Amino acid sequence: MAPVGRRDLAQHGCRGGVHKKMRLEQPIATFILGIGGIALAIAGILSHVSTLLNDAGDVIIPFTFVMLVDWLYVQRRRTAAAAFFEHPHDFTGRIVPSSIASVIVGFVIGYWGNHFLPGLFYNTLPLPVVGGIVAAALYALAATARPRPSTAAATAPPTVTPTA
């Protein structure tokens, strides 16, 4: 690994050099967060933690399943190693509608699935897991229908530029 110089830091957004650590920075932050946690526990926030974790799981589990399919199936199959860490140049390169739709469907199944799914689905596995599996399957199906970027670029007709 190459040594990092001040010029390298400036190129990557770190202006003014490296952050100088203070000796008491971590103990002070720990103390403040501890006092805040005790105050919230006394105020009664612990009675709402279960609801928060259940609601967060309804979104996080389908999102995680879609991310796993994207990493294991879509990106490894389509993206060249050299282009893997390049930032997309436009908004459409950053947002994939099929992934958003898959996570939304997974959330709907995980949150309201007990109202419309047979009991087999929510008695065997937790509904967020069923929603995650459905979301992953939908995203994988949508990814197989999408053309590969390298294939689309290879099949594009060559452009001829006039010479002077």
**What's the confidence (pLDDT) of residue 36?**
93
Alpha-carbon distance 101 to 154, whole Å? 29
pLDDT tens for 76-113 read 777 777 777 778 788 777 888 999 999 999 999 999 99
User: For residue 138, is pLDDT > 70?
Assistant: yes
User: For residue 9, is pLDDT > 60?
Assistant: no
Residue 65 confidence class, pLDDT cut points 50, 70, 90: very high
User: For residue 131, is pLDDT > 90?
Assistant: yes
pLDDT tens for 73-84 read 888 777 777 777
**What's the confidence (pLDDT) of residue 28?**
93
Distances in Å between the Cα of 23 and the Cα atoms of 16, 35, 49, 72, 129 are 20, 20, 34, 42, 44
Alpha-carbon distance 135 to 111, whole Å? 13
**What's the confidence (pLDDT) of residue 152?**
45
Closest-CA residue to 136 (of 59, 56, 69) = 69
**What's the confidence (pLDDT) of residue 14?**
52
**What's the confidence (pLDDT) of residue 94?**
80
